[in-house]
């Protein structure tokens, strides 16, 4: 870095004497967009949950950790094939524009490199190798590595008697890669066996992707509700850009993909000028549309989502119950956002029984922020700890303690274990994943067993791009 700057400074100083005073090397101001990450629909870089009541995520001093569970999302990635192709189409449309670009899109006519240089990177985690900027601070790879160090710092003691242990991951390549970077980053002291669980529906209930196994799942079941949300903000964006550039003809749909461009470009390059195209209100409308569609397709607004999430919640409760008998104190699992959202719907952490409205953005009265729960690199921890002979359960979502409001009078706003069991039983009551999802039509695996039989089964499904 030092050498590079010595070489670059004289050159840049000559080429651009004025800007070089403020920014002699010419690096983008990566952090300047961080305040926007919570409004990127979960497609941009990781961030900590933005609202906290100041309760430390470390367990209270007089208490001892007994078990820790993690449900994590893969880290920062390129867009999927589907979304990437749409963004590329918008890029082509703008590139074809015959006049010089004017207004907020004019950066594309300057020294600009589109962030999708190789379509083989669709679906992939961003890494040092496939990042377009060698010092991009937001790669999925680095996020997983940093997360592992933070994990060790807080929970490393719990591994003192079990340095050989499993980490569970779905067989999606980017999910697996995240788990693998995490595992490697723990250091040579640990011998991690990755248990790679198939996303195929033949896995039935024995999976980290119960939504994928559910043959009756219908993502558009509530499209009639979510379709009522106004897309005027998208029309406004398209109109503004078309007014600045006569004949550009951007549509509302193109405008949606510009948000994805902003988010994914940040994962790939660490920075995106596209993020400056929108006003703060437009980010708020966009983020809420994402909350809304997610709430009714994968969250508490869709009854089947809670059933889908109940499999992992039930397994989590079972691990907690068996804490005294299980040698392993650390249960780490990696999957996709939709499955974590369904899991959280089953736990009920962000479910206040008030259906999200479609006719306005409930700015103050709104606890369901999808991207705050499952940004790239999301991490939902379940802590089990003992304080003077009683045990307690508590959730930590993206570094912030999120109490179960109805049960939070334990130390550190935790829930006393027997009360937690009552709470969980109540949430799980009447949930029947196997029946509701017609699991036996596609699989003979009617319960989640991998946490208990991984040593004999050694799960090793082939990786897929999904």
Any idea which residues carry the catalytic annotation?
74, 337
Binding mask 32-71 for ligand NAG (x = CB under 6 A): ----------------------------------------
Residues 77-106 binding ligand NAG (CB under 6 A) are 96-97, 102-103
Distance CA 208, CA 240 (A): 43
Distance CA 239, CA 249 (A): 9
Nearer to ligand NAG, 245 or 383 (CB): 245
The residue with tokens 């994943």 is: 433
Contacting range for ligand NAG; rule: CB under 6 A; set: 118-126, 243-251, 379-387, 410-418: 243-251
Residues 314-353 binding ligand NAG (CB under 6 A) are 314, 318, 329
- Told to check if 462 binds ligand NAG by CB under 6 A, we report yes
Residue 297 beta carbon to ligand NAG: minimum distance, rounded to whole angstroms: 10
- Told to check if 161 binds ligand NAG by CB under 6 A, we report yes
Per the structure block, which two tokens stand in for 351? Answer: 């479910």
Please spell the DSSP secondary structure of 363-383, one letter per residue. SSS----HHHHS-TT-EEEEE
- Told to check if 246 binds ligand NAG by CB under 6 A, we report yes
CA quadruple 151, 157, 159, 163: dihedral sign: positive
Distance CA 136, CA 270 (A): 4
Binding mask 197-226 for ligand NAG (x = CB under 6 A): ---------------------x-xx-x---
Nearer to ligand NAG, 55 or 88 (CB): 88
Per the structure block, which two tokens stand in for 425? Answer: 């039983």
Specify which residues 195 forms β-bridges with. 168
- Told to check if 365 binds ligand NAG by CB under 6 A, we report no
Residue 62 beta carbon to ligand NAG: minimum distance, rounded to whole angstroms: 9
- Told to check if 164 binds ligand NAG by CB under 6 A, we report yes
User: How many Cα atoms within 13 Å fall on the side-chain side of residue 334?
Assistant: 28
Closest by CA to 315, choosing from 407, 167, 210, is 210
- Told to check if 244 binds ligand NAG by CB under 6 A, we report yes
Nearer to ligand NAG, 389 or 456 (CB): 389
- Told to check if 456 binds ligand NAG by CB under 6 A, we report no
Please, are residues 376 and 143 in contact by the beta-carbon 8 Å criterion? yes
Residues 131-160 binding ligand NAG (CB under 6 A) are 157-158, 160
In 44-114, where do the E strands start and end? 63-73
Nearer to ligand NAG, 241 or 268 (CB): 241
Nearer to ligand NAG, 55 or 434 (CB): 434
Q: What is the 3-state secondary structure (H, E, C) of 180-229?
A: HHHHHHCCCCCEEEEEEECCCHHHCCCCCCHHHHCCCCCCCCCHHHHCCC
Distance CA 342, CA 335 (A): 12
Nearer to ligand NAG, 146 or 442 (CB): 442
Binding site for ligand NAG (CB under 6 A): 96-97, 102-103, 157-158, 160-161, 164, 191, 193, 218, 220-221, 223, 244-249, 311, 314, 318, 329, 388-389, 428, 431, 444, 447, 460, 462
């Amino acid at each position: 870095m030092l050498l590079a700057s010595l070489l670059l400074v004289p050159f840049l100083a000559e080429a651009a004497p004025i800007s070089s005073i403020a920014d002699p090397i010419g690096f983008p101001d990566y952090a300047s967009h961080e305040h926007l990450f919570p409004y990127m629909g979960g497609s941009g870089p990781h961030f900590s949950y933005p609202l906290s009541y100041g309760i430390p995520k470390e367990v209270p001093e007089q208490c001892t950790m007994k078990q820790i569970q993690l449900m994590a999302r893969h880290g920062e990635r390129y867009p999927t094939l589907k979304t990437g192709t749409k963004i590329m189409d918008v890029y082509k449309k703008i590139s074809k524009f015959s006049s010089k670009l004017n207004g907020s899109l004019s950066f594309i006519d300057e020294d600009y490199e589109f962030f999708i240089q190789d379509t083989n990177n669709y679906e992939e985690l961003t890494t040092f190798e496939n990042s377009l900027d060698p010092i991009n601070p937001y790669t999925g790879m680095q996020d997983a590595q940093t997360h592992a160090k933070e994990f060790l710092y807080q929970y490393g003691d719990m591994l003192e008697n079990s340095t050989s242990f499993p980490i569970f991951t779905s067989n999606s390549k980017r999910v697996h890669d995240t788990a693998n970077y995490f595992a490697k980053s723990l250091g040579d002291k640990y011998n991690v066996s990755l248990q790679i669980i198939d996303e195929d529906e033949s896995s039935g209930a024995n999976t980290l992707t119960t939504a994928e196994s559910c043959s009756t799942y219908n993502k558009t079941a509530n499209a009639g509700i979510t379709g009522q949300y106004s897309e005027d903000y998208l029309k406004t964006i398209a109109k503004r850009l078309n007014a600045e550039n006569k004949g550009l003809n951007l549509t509302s749909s193109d405008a949606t993909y510009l948000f994805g461009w902003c988010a994914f470009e940040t994962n790939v390059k660490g920075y995106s000028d596209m993020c400056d195209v929108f006003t703060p209100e437009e980010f708020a409308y966009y983020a809420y549309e994402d909350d809304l569609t997610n709430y009714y397709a994968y969250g508490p607004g869709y009854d089947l989502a809670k059933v889908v999430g109940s499999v992992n919640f039930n397994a989590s409760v079972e691990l907690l119950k068996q804490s005294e008998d299980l040698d392993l104190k650390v249960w780490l699992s990696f999957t996709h956002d939709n499955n974590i959202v369904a899991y959280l719907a089953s736990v009920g952490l962000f479910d206040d029984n008030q259906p999200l409205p479609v006719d306005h953005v409930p700015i103050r009265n709104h606890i369901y922020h999808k991207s705050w729960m499952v940004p790239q690199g999301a991490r939902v921890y379940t802590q089990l700890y003992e304080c003077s002979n009683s045990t307690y359960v508590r959730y930590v979502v993206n570094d912030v303690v999120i109490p179960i409001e109805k049960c939070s009078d334990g130390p550190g706003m935790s829930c006393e274990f027997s009360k937690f069991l009552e709470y969980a039983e109540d949430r799980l009551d009447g949930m029947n994943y196997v029946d509701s999802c017609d699991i036996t039509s596609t699989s003979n695996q009617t319960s989640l067993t991998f946490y208990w039989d991984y040593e004999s089964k050694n799960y090793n499904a082939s990786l897929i791009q999904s």
